[in-house]
């Protein structure tokens, strides 16, 4: 009985250590593993403290463009290195869509919100290895009163 309790305690300690290491690895390195580094606010703060000029894309980096198309219309995004640049938000006006907001960048991620009456779609795009990637698309419906 004493040996079984010892094994159970050892297993529990090992499980707690494994979970802790996993959580630390994912939270600490997760953004870099996904190539979504801390460019946003932290980098802009660091840059502005040093030379009072916000971070800008390197003009020597190639410009890679991609168009994301869905019910709302099209969202054209370009990447220059790790910077996302909103080129154009084209709502499908024939289907009643309009652009509510649109972030041109450059930034580590940009977004656009399209609306069609009570329905809206928000897209967030970031650059992964210099290519636009759809990070998130959020569909919302305004409820009836």
Task: At 46, list the tokens.
Answer: 């660091």
Tens-digit pLDDT profile for residues 35-47:
454 444 444 444 5
> What are the domain boundaries of the chain?
2-49, 56-141
CA distance 40 to 61: 19
- 6 pLDDT higher than 60: yes
Q: What is the mean pLDDT of residues 116-132?
A: 92
Number of Cβ atoms within 10 Å of the Cβ of 128: 14
Tens-digit pLDDT profile for residues 26-71:
666 555 444 454 444 444 444 544 444 456 888 888 999 999 999 8
Q: What is the mean pLDDT of residues 101-114?
A: 92
Task: At 131, list the tokens.
Answer: 């290519």
| Summary mean pLDDT of the chain | 81
Residue with the bigger pLDDT between 38 and 85: it is 85
Q: What is the mean pLDDT of residues 79-100?
A: 94
- The answer to whether 84 and 108 have CB atoms below 8 angstroms apart is yes
């Amino acid at each position: 009985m004493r040996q079984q309790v010892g094994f159970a305690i050892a297993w529990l300690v090992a499980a707690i250590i494994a979970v802790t290491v996993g959580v630390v690895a994912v939270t600490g390195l997760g953004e870099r593993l996904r190539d979504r580094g801390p460019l946003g606010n932290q980098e802009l703060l660091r840059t502005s403290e040093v030379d009072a000029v916000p971070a800008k894309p390197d003009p020597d980096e190639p410009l890679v463009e991609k168009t994301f198309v869905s019910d709302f219309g099209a969202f054209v995004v370009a990447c220059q290195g790790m910077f996302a640049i909103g080129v154009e938000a084209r709502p499908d006006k024939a289907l009643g869509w309009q652009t509510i907001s649109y972030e041109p960048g450059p930034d580590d991620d940009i977004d656009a919100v399209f609306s069609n009456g009570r329905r809206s779609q928000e897209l967030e795009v970031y650059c992964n290895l210099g290519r636009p990637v759809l990070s998130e698309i959020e569909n919302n419906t305004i409820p009836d009163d």
